């Protein structure tokens, strides 16, 4: 039976990424060695990093003066690297969910943290709109897509200070005006590569503004100066990321990824709104196109476990909602074909007919 992979992360990747990485793991470039066995300094590997950086810049239209870094540690290490590198006295954070809160927690170890707004009181079902970013903070941090709650900031915000964004789960799902940001980061395991890789897009002249000592490995400047090769970078995930970047380019780039994402999300949200059993959890105008969260209506609550079993038997994988929201979450990243979304919709309709 065909499996439809709705996992939130690590998650679905293009078939070409998986096949070409598997081939390189068996034999890298006809060298007789595995991708896992070669040095990151091997002359054959540098072109992989260079092409991945170049494609990142091309696909996202990254202006001059920015560096693309491939690091380890996950988005979670960035939660502390950001204040280490940018927080001299005070920073502003928009609290839109668990990941934003974790980022804030780390920043508090370095200085004062201003929470400009929060939707915690409504279990993060919406994106706060009416807030002001103080002009005297070192930076303003946002999480553009809240993977757990299924809310998303898709319209670029304005900020009077350096803006920093966690884009772990919506990078490459829409064109971004990079010039609005000092730094964009994320774990690669949602829309790009297997786990083990963190991407960072950093504006070079935003660095070097804090007075504290920054440990070498936690200093962005180290990685800018060494082209992500200060120490051994995650070789296999970087190769896989390059394959995904090539796939996105061949499919028509980020505009096409966005078109598909909007189409898939509209199909599924329409069904959620139409079906008598289900209801979406996120505020309609803040709905994420990547992570689609829904639950059973109050009067059908007791059917949740049945639907999960029903859908799983039909090949739906990873649709159980995060424990802090409950119900269901269908993550529809770039590599997810429309057919998988249609298969989930068919499941929802078949289940509705039974009840």
Ligand X SMILES: *Cc1c(COP(=O)(O)O)cnc(C)c1O
**Known catalytic residues?**
99, 166, 190
CB of 224 to ligand X, least distance (A): 21
61-80 mask for ligand X (x: CB under 6 A)? -------------xxx----
Peptide bond into 272 cis (omega under 30): no
In 3D space, the residue among 283, 332, 295 whose CA is nearest the CA of residue 127 turns out to be: 283
Q: Cβ(32)–Cβ(261) under 8 Å?
A: no
124-163 mask for ligand X (x: CB under 6 A)? -------------------x---x----------------
Whose tokens are 């920015």? That residue is 66
CB of 117 to ligand X, least distance (A): 17
Q: What is the size of the binding site for ligand X (CB under 6 A)?
A: 12
In 3D space, the residue among 195, 193, 238 whose CA is nearest the CA of residue 18 turns out to be: 193
Q: Is 14 a residue that touches ligand X (CB under 6 A)?
A: no
Q: Is 173 a residue that touches ligand X (CB under 6 A)?
A: no
Dihedral pair phi/psi, residue 323, rounded to 5°: -60, -25
How far from the centroid of its chain's Cα atoms is residue 100's Cα? 13
Name which position in 66, 84, 86, 99 contacts ligand X (CB under 6 A): 99
Site for ligand X in 183-222 (CB under 6 A): 187, 190
Name which position in 152, 166, 271, 286 contacts ligand X (CB under 6 A): 166
Q: Cβ(73)–Cβ(228) under 8 Å?
A: no
Q: Cβ(14)–Cβ(204) under 8 Å?
A: no
| CA distances from residue 332 to 186, 218, 273 in whole angstroms, order as listed | 17, 32, 18
How far from the centroid of its chain's Cα atoms is residue 313's Cα? 28
Name which position in 168, 206, 244, 281 contacts ligand X (CB under 6 A): 168
Name which position in 4, 5, 6, 9 contacts ligand X (CB under 6 A): 9
Residues that bind ligand X (CB under 6 A): 9, 74-76, 99, 143, 147, 166, 168-169, 187, 190
């Amino acid at each position: 039976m065909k499996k439809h992979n709705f996992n939130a992360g690590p998650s679905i990747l293009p078939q070409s990424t998986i096949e070409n990485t598997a081939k390189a793991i068996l034999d890298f470039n006809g060298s007789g060695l595995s991708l896992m066995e070669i040095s990151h300094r091997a002359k054959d590997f540098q072109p992989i990093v260079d092409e991945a950086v170049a494609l990142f810049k091309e696909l996202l239209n990254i202006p001059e003066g920015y560096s693309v870094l491939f690091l380890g540690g996950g988005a979670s290490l960035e939660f502390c690297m950001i204040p280490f590198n940018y927080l001299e006295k005070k920073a502003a954070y928009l609290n839109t969910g668990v990941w934003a809160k974790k980022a804030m927690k780390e920043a508090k170890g370095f200085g004062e943290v201003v929470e400009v707004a929060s939707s915690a009181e409504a279990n993060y079902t919406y994106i706060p709109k009416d807030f002001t970013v103080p002009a005297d903070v070192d930076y303003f941090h946002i999480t553009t897509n809240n993977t757990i709650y299924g809310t998303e900031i898709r319209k670029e915000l304005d900020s009077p200070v350096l803006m920093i964004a966690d884009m772990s789960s919506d990078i490459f799902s829409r064109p971004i005006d990079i010039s609005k940001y000092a730094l964009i980061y994320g774990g690669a395991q949602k829309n790009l590569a297997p786990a083990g890789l963190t991407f960072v897009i950093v504006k070079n002249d935003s660095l070097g503004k804090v007075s504290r000592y920054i440990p070498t490995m936690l200093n962005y400047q180290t990685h800018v100066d060494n082209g992500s090769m200060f120490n051994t970078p995650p070789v296999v995930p970087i190769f896989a990321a390059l394959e995904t970047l090539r796939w996105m380019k061949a499919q028509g780039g980020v505009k096409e990824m966005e078109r598909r994402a909007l189409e898939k999300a509209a199909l599924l949200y329409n069904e959620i709104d139409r079906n008598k059993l289900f209801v979406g959890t996120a505020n309609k105008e803040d709905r994420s196109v990547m992570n689609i969260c829904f639950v059973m209506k109050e009067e059908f609550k007791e059917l949740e476990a049945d639907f999960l079993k029903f859908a799983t038997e039909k090949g739906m994988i990873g649709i159980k909602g995060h424990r802090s929201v409950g119900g269901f979450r269908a993550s529809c990243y770039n590599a997810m074909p429309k057919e998988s979304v249609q298969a989930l919709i068919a499941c929802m309709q078949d289940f509705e007919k039974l009840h």
